[in-house]
Amino acid sequence: MPVDKDTVKRVAHLARIAVSDAEAETLQADLNAILGFVEKLDEIDVTDVEPMTSAIGMSMKMRADTVTDGDQAAKVVANAPAGSDHFFVVPKVVE
């Protein structure tokens, strides 16, 4: 089922990407081309087929619940576009 421009804008907002009207139009065409391409999957009967959730059959590894790292606040925030002391600075979120 093809998507309309409003759906593109709604999904873009969900993905936190600002899109202009012109971009939304291009993206609408692109998404519909891709969705049309994947429609092929509807041909297959997948009743009783388990979804594949791991590329190679392996069970989740466990490790000891111990501290292996830490005290590196300066390194953690070193790449932040805005920071103060050892904090990330963001626009005000609570009035």
Partner 1 sequence: MNDLSLMTIAGIRDGLATKAFSATELCQTYLANMESARELNAYVCETPDRALAMAAESDRRIAAGEARALEGVPLGVKDLFCTEGVHSQAASHILDGFKPAYESTVTANLWAAGAVMLGKLNMDEFAMGSSSETSYYGPVVNPWRSRGSNAPLVPGGSSGGSAAAVAARLCAGATATDTGGSIRQPAAFTGTVGIKPTYGRCSRWGIVAFASSFDQAGPIARDVRDAATLLRSMASVDPKDTTSAEVPVPDYEAAIGKSVKGLRVGIPKEYRIDDLPAEVEGLWENGKEWLRDAGAEIEEISLPHTKYALPAYYIIAPAEASSNLARYDGVRYGLRVPGEDVIAMYENTRAAGFGKEVKRRVLIGTYALSAGYYDAYYLRALKVRTLIKRDFDIVFDAGIDVILTPATPTAAFGVAEKTLASPIEMYLNDIFTVTVNMAGLPGIAVPAGLTADGLPLALQLIAKPFDEEMLFRAGHVVEAAAGRFSPDRWW
Residues forming the site for partner 1 (CB under 8 A): 3, 7-8, 11-19, 27, 30-31, 33-35, 37-44, 46, 49-56, 58, 60-61, 63, 72, 75-82, 88, 90-93
Residue 68: what are its φ and ψ, rounded to 5°?
A: -115, -5
Strands 87-88 and 83-84: antiparallel
| CB of 8 vs partner 1, minimal distance in Å | 7
Residue 17 sits at the vertex; the CA angle it makes with 15 and 23, to the nearest 5 degrees, is: 120
Cβ closest to partner 1, residue 25 vs residue 82: 82
Residue 43 or 71 having the CB closest to partner 1? 43
Least Cβ distance, residue 80 to partner 1 (angstroms): 6
> Minimum Å distance from CB 74 to partner 1?
9
Q: How far is the CB of 61 from partner 1 (least distance, A)?
A: 5
Residue (of 36, 20, 33) closest to 9 by Cα position: 20
Q: What is the dihedral angle through the alpha carbons of 26, 32, 37, 42, rounded to the nearest 10 degrees?
A: 160
The length of the chain, given as a count of residues: 95
